[in-house]
Structure formats: structure tokens, C-alpha cells
Amino acid sequence: MLEAFVEFLLELFAEGIVWILLFSSWLWFIIMGFSWLLYGILNYQTLLWICVGFSIWWLITLFVPLESQDSTW
């Protein structure tokens, strides 16, 4: 009985982490930016991928309404 309860709590905790990761946009910007930078370093195209990353980030922020930027960003 205790094992089932602990397993349930672990699953609930894991689901919470997944939802937080899915909906925290800044975390995804950091992950994507780091992966672009790493890809650029490995392929000797760092400046290109930094520019691509900032351009995409800028385009995404253009489409986010100012009201939601105040509350979630």
C-alpha cells in the first residue's frame, strides 16, 4: 500500500515537471539557444546560428501580446 502511494506521488511529481517544462517559454528559449550555440560551435558557424537564434526569438516575441508578457514573461 505504501509503495503504491509513493509510486503515485512520484508519477504526480514527474507530470508536474513535464507540464512546467512544456509551458515555461523562457526555459525553452534557453535550451534552444544553447543547442543552437553548441551546434554552431561544432560546425564552426557560431555567428550564423547566434543570429538565427536571436531572429527567431525576436519573431516569437513580436507575436506575444503585451498583456501576456507582463504576466508570464
pLDDT of residue 71: 53
Would residue 7 count as lying in a domain?
Answer: no
pLDDT digits (tens, 9 = 90+) for 21-71: 666 666 677 777 777 777 777 777 667 767 777 777 777 777 765 555 555
Would residue 15 count as lying in a domain?
Answer: no
Residue in this structure with the C-alpha cell 501580446, named with its chain if needed: 65
Which domain, by its residues, includes 64? 24-73
Would residue 5 count as lying in a domain?
Answer: no
pLDDT of residue 8: 80
Would residue 66 count as lying in a domain?
Answer: yes
For residue 9, pLDDT over 70 is answered with yes
pLDDT of residue 22: 63
Would residue 9 count as lying in a domain?
Answer: no
pLDDT of residue 57: 77
When divided into structural domains, the chain yields a total of: 1
Would residue 4 count as lying in a domain?
Answer: no
The string of DSSP letters for 3-54 reads HHHHHHHHHHHHHHHHHHHHH-HHHHHHHHHHHHHHHHHHTT-HHHHHHHHH
